[in-house]
């Protein structure tokens, strides 16, 4: 991707050096907004389970932790400001930060245009760079859970060491694989702004785990499709290089539930899939990329 010299987003919050500050063990803070239940031990266990699940299966502890229900959110973005003291001592991987800021800016431009064409106003998300652990309006998260989006505070959370993991552990190398990761999370933000995510959280209430997983797959595949839509417009700007799309598609393949489960545990448990198979993820990413139309990203009904 020919990203150098292009606009970089101002919506980056660099919280890397203090790694989440007083988040862990800080006492009193593990409030998970699920159905109003915020019990201590249970919530901590839930966080741990979600972190493990996120690590195995993909990106979004937020999708499980909920948070779409804004009324139940404790403190919102106020928690994040706990972590804001880390600037000035950021690690040296600033080129990667610039890359992420540029990709984020490209998503801002693209989605602003798409929203405008529908008579809507796009609101930029923030992207929080963190290391090791972070606290969001969706609760506490470890970097091991991978990047995620928190609907409660409209922020994407990214520990950039995930990119190395993506490359070395998951076999998904290339700049555009990383761009896809950011664009996928921004896709969740689009779902949040358009009300899809709160509808999802409502529908999920009272569902069996298997049904909720199936619904989650649909939401995740739509975020992949939205990432594809973004890539479509980015390609039109003439800044994609040969192999870029292929590297994003390969990333989608490598982080498919079936591929990850095979790699991690040697067998697959389809009922537990919550992000989609490799084939599904590639299909929907490619679909969005091909047409650039949101109407081609309706994963919520029909076969996927």
The site for Zn ion, by CB under 5 A, has a size of 4
Does 159 participate in binding Zn ion (rule CB under 5 A)? no
Least distance in Å: CB of 79 to Zn ion? Answer: 21
Q: Does 60 bind Zn ion (CB under 5 A)?
A: yes
Q: Does 224 bind Zn ion (CB under 5 A)?
A: no
Q: Which residue of this chain has its Cβ atom nearest to Zn ion in the complex?
A: 60
* CB-count exposure of residue 118 (10 Å: 0-12, 13-18, 19+): exposed
Stretch that binds Zn ion, among 19-27, 59-67, 228-236, 246-254 (CB under 5 A): 59-67
> CA nearest 2: which of 243, 163, 238, 186?
238
162 near Zn ion (CB under 5 A): no
- Pair type for strands 12-15 and 126-130: parallel
Q: How far apart are the first and last CA of the chain?
A: 29
**Candidates 60-68, 88-96, 128-136, 288-296 — which segment interacts with Zn ion by CB under 5 A?**
60-68
CA 45, CA 51: separation in Å to the nearest integer? Answer: 10
Q: How far is the CB of 223 from Zn ion (least distance, A)?
A: 5
Based on the shown chain and the rule CB under 5 A, indicate whether residue 59 belongs to the binding site for Zn ion: yes
Strand, coil or helix: 264? helix
Task: Mention every residue, 6+ apart, whose C-beta is less than 8 A from residue 111.
Answer: 122, 186, 190, 230
Minimum distance, C-beta of residue 188 to Zn ion, in the bound complex (Å): 6
Q: Give yes or no for residue 106 binding Zn ion (CB under 5 A).
A: no
Binds Zn ion by CB under 5 A, chosen from 223, 231, 248, 260? 223
Residue closer to Zn ion (CB basis): 57 or 59: 59
Q: Among 77, 60, 102, which Cα is nearest to 15's?
A: 77
140 bridge partner residues: 135
List the one residue from 13, 14, 175, 220 that touches Zn ion (CB under 5 A): 220
β-bridge pairing 148-150 and 155-158 = antiparallel
Instruction: Please report how close the Cβ of residue 22 comes to Zn ion at its closest, in angstroms.
Output: 28
Given 3-state DSSP classes, what are the helix, strand and coil percentages for the chain, each rounded to the nearest 5?
55, 10, 35
State the residues that interact with Zn ion by CB under 5 A: 59-60, 220, 223
């Amino acid at each position: 991707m020919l990203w150098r010299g292009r606009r970089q987003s101002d919506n980056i919050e660099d919280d890397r050096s203090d790694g989440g500050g007083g988040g862990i063990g800080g006492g009193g803070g593990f409030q998970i907004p699920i159905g109003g239940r915020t019990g201590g031990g249970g919530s901590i266990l839930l966080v741990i389970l979600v972190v493990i699940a996120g690590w195995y299966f993909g990106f979004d502890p937020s999708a499980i932790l909920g948070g779409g229900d804004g009324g139940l959110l404790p403190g919102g973005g106020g928690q994040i400001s706990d972590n804001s003291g880390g600037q000035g001592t950021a690690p040296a991987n600033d080129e990667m930060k610039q890359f992420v800021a540029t990709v984020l800016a490209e998503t801002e431009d693209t989605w602003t245009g798409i929203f405008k064409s529908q008579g809507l106003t796009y609101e930029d998300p923030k992207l929080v760079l963190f290391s090791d652990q972070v606290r969001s309006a969706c609760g506490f998260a470890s970097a091991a859970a991978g990047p995620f989006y928190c609907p409660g505070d409209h922020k994407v959370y990214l520990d950039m060491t995930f990119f190395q993991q993506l490359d070395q552990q998951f076999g998904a190398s290339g700049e555009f694989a990383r761009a896809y990761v950011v664009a996928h999370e921004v896709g969740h933000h689009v779902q949040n702004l358009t009300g899809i995510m709160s509808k999802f959280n409502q529908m999920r209430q009272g569902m069996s785990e298997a049904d909720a997983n199936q619904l989650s797959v649909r939401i995740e595949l739509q975020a992949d499709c939205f990432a594809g839509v973004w890539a479509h417009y980015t390609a039109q700007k003439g800044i994609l290089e040969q192999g870029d799309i292929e590297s994003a598609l390969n990333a989608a393949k490598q982080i498919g539930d079936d591929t990850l489960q095979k790699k991690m545990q040697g067998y697959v448990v389809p009922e537990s899939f919550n992000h989609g198979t490799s084939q599904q993820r590639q299909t929907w990413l490619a679909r969005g990329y091909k047409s650039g139309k949101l109407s081609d990203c309706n994963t919520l009904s029909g076969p996927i």
